[in-house]
Amino acid sequence: MQNDRARRLHPRSLAYLSSYLDKLTKGRLWLKVIIGMVLGVATGIVLGPTVGLVAPDTASAIGNWLALPGRLFLLLIQMIVIPLVFASVIRGLTSGGSLEQLRSLGLRVTLYFVFTTTVAISIGLAVALIIKPGHYIDSAMVQQAIGSSPAQALPTTVPGMPGLSELPQKLITILPSNPLTSMVEGQMLQVVLFAIIFGVALVMMPASKSKPMLDVLGSLLEVCMTVVRVAMRLAPYAVFGLMTQLTTKIGLDALLGMAVYVGTVLLGLALLLGFYLAVVLVVGRTRPIQFLSAAREVMLLAFSTSSSAAVLPVTMKTAQEKLHIRSSVAQFVIPLGATVNMDGTALYQGVAAIFLAQVFGVDIGTGGMLLIIITAVGASIGAPATPGVGIVILAMVLESANIPVAGIALLLGVDRVLDMSRTSVNVCGDLAASTVMDRWLPSEDNTPAGPINRRTPSLDETEA
């Protein structure tokens, strides 16, 4: 009788609820982060001025301890960013395999990727400057809560554009004279340029001589990604602690402005998707509806995994079987694009940089805009196709424009949803790039270029 009653009450016990929640969130980091964000906000409301359950000093002490995992998370991310980007850029450049492929596709693909990435971050900067999401948050309260302000951390104004006489010297300083010094000082753009030169040199070398170095870089990249995966395990706890600390100190009203920030990023991604469809229509001669119909499954998969690398085999299969892109093009462009074509990430970095500049009162002039564009374009080349790496690269973009990196804590709570969205757009960008390259490059066989805008062959016809 008692056992029956225990079984009836079991679903209401804390142990059962804990087990059910663990089963629900197992393998779903995004859900854990969202739960951490909600619980953090709720805890902060209870501890903070909105409810005032405890004294302000006590609430501040509790918030500081709860934010400890978040601080560790940020330190791990900042620690691994330089070796991660260095190894990723080189592996991306050498993924084509042979010098012949790099010569035939390299220049056009590089110009296309740089162009679309520049367009993406320009869209991000434009929508952020027009909507001004940072003005919907109490800047003074946020600066006090995070512990950073322009006066405390970094200069309030970035240097202006150099004159014509100074421009040659500025361009020369971009190229690192001592790559190790650039790595130690965290100069992302110089590290990326050195990695590009290093990668091109490896491609030009005989495979027997370059393979040992590529193996070392592959191992380095795997070590870096292991650290990132460990850091991402802290993400739910980091979000919970940081959101609790923020809400405890600034209240719920300041967090409502984040909805405007999220809406700004999503609007920018929608505009970027529209740009892709226009390019596919005009250059690739493929109707947007048919392109989206072919790409929707892999885009949804990318949305759920937040990783371009995880869906790379599906992306290549989609390109060859549904978009009918030549194998020689798809097998080069898509793996390369999964590493160096991070347009959605670049757009996000532009919006986030302007948002935090508005929050902290940093005056971004023309020189600052140019620095953000150049750094974001270069950094997106080195963004690995895994969840959470956008936050890693954002830290370097913020430093390039003298914006307090501590402001990332304000973005962590909503980053997972935005990460899922921009990853989906990144995958769409890779498919669009392969469609354009398939149209641009002369066909070496009888495989038609971009036939999706014509009658799609049946499975029997394809096998025949």
Question: DSSP readout, 348-372?
Answer: HHHHHHHHHHHHHT-B--HHHHHHH
Q: Which two tokens stand for residue 60?
A: 């501040």
Residue 5 lies in a domain: no
Residue 15 lies in a domain: no
The range of the structural domain enclosing residue 109 comes to 30-463
Residue 142 lies in a domain: yes
**Dihedrals φ, ψ of 363, to 5°?**
-85, 110
Residue 7 lies in a domain: no
Residue 88 lies in a domain: yes
pLDDT in the model for residue 18 = 57
Other CB atoms within 10 A of residue 242 CB:
31
For residue 444, what is the domain's CATH number? 1.10.3860
Residues in the chain predicted with pLDDT less than 50, given as ranges, are: 1-7, 9, 149-162, 445-464
* 90: β partners: none
pLDDT in the model for residue 311 = 72
Pick the closest to residue 93 from 212, 217, 177 (CA basis).
217
Residue 2 lies in a domain: no
Residue 375: half-sphere exposure toward Cβ, Cα within 13 Å:
22
- Residue 343: exposed, middle, or buried by beta-carbon count in 10 A (0-12, 13-18, 19+)? buried
d(CA 461, CA 464): 5
pLDDT in the model for residue 388 = 58
pLDDT in the model for residue 63 = 84
pLDDT in the model for residue 457 = 37
Q: Can you spell out the DSSP letters for 103-122?
A: HHHHHHHHHHHHHHHHHHHH
How many domains does the chain contain in total?
Answer: 1
**Dihedrals φ, ψ of 186, to 5°?**
70, 30
pLDDT in the model for residue 68 = 87
What does pTM read for this prediction? 0.62
Residue 11 lies in a domain: no
CA distances to 88, 190, 330 from 202, rounded to whole Å, are: 14, 18, 22
pLDDT in the model for residue 6 = 44
Residue 270 lies in a domain: yes
